[in-house]
Amino acid sequence: MRLLISNDDGIFAIGVRTLANTLAAAGHQVTVVCPDRERSATGHGLTLHQPIRANLVEGVFHDSITAWSCSGTPADCVKLALWSLLEEKPDFVFSGINHGANLGTDVLYSGTVSAAMEGIIEGIPSVAFSLTSFSAQNFQPAANYARDLLQNLIDNPLSNLFLLNVNVPPVSEAEIKGAKITRQGIRRYIEVFEKRTDPRGKTYYWLAGEVVEEIEDQEGDRDFPSDVEAIRDNYITVTPLQYNLTSKKELPQLKSWLHPESTQKT
Residue 259 has pLDDT above 90, yes or no: no
Distance from first CA to last CA of the chain, Å, rounded?
53
The answer to whether the predicted template modeling score (pTM) of the entire model surpasses 0.85 is: yes
Least confident of 97-106, 121-130, 165-174, 208-217: 208-217
> Reduced to 3 states, what is the DSSP secondary structure of residue 207?
strand
Query: Between these two residues, 215 and 191, which has the higher pLDDT value?
Result: 191
Residue 110 to residue 115: CA distance in whole angstroms: 9
Note the pLDDT of residue 37.
93
Query: How many angstroms separate the Cα of 257 from the Cα of each of 119, 146, 248?
Result: 37, 46, 15
Query: What domains does the chain contain, in order, with CATH numbers?
Result: 2-185+221-254 (3.40.1210.10)
Q: How confident is the model at residue 263 (pLDDT cuts 50, 70, 90)?
A: low
| 164-199: burial string, b at 16+ Cβ within 10 Å, e else | bbbbbbbeeeeebeebbebbbbbbeeeeeeeeeeee
Residue 98 to residue 81: CA distance in whole angstroms: 19
Residue 19 to residue 207: CA distance in whole angstroms: 30
Residue 217 has pLDDT above 90, yes or no: no
Note the pLDDT of residue 137.
93
pLDDT in tens, 30-87: 999 999 999 988 889 999 999 999 999 999 999 999 999 999 999 999 999 999 999 9
Mean pLDDT of 243-260: 86
Residue 106 to residue 8: CA distance in whole angstroms: 14
Residue 58 to residue 158: CA distance in whole angstroms: 35
Note the pLDDT of residue 212.
60
Cα atoms in the 13 Å half-sphere on the side-chain side of 74 = 32
Query: Phi, psi at residue 56, to the nearest 5°?
Result: -65, 145
SS (H, E, C) 90-155: CCEEEEEEEECCCCHHHHHCCHHHHHHHHHHHCCCCEEEEEECCCCCCCCHHHHHHHHHHHHHHHH
- Say which residues have a Cβ less than 8 Å from residue 76's Cβ, sequence separation at least 6: 35, 46, 47, 52, 70
Note the pLDDT of residue 192.
80
Note the pLDDT of residue 125.
96
Walk across the sheet containing 178-181 and list its strands: 54-57, 66-70, 29-35, 2-6, 92-99, 126-131, 163-168, 235-241, 178-181
> Reduced to 3 states, what is the DSSP secondary structure of residue 161?
coil
Mean pLDDT of 108-114: 94
Residue 144 has pLDDT above 60, yes or no: yes
Residue 213 has pLDDT above 60, yes or no: no
Residue 246 has pLDDT above 80, yes or no: yes
Residue 170 to residue 15: CA distance in whole angstroms: 12
Residue-by-residue DSSP string for 9-43: S-TT-HHHHHHHHHHHHTT-EEEEEEESS--TT-T
Q: Using DSSP bridges, classify how beta strands 54-57 and 66-70 pair: parallel, antiparallel or unpaired.
A: antiparallel
Residue 237 to residue 205: CA distance in whole angstroms: 35
Q: How confident is the model at residue 262 (pLDDT cuts 50, 70, 90)?
A: low
Query: Between these two residues, 149 and 249, which has the higher pLDDT value?
Result: 149
Asked whether the beta carbons of 18 and 10 are under 8 A apart, the reply is: no
Q: Residue 169 carries which side chain, given as an amino acid letter?
A: P
Residue 264 has pLDDT above 70, yes or no: no
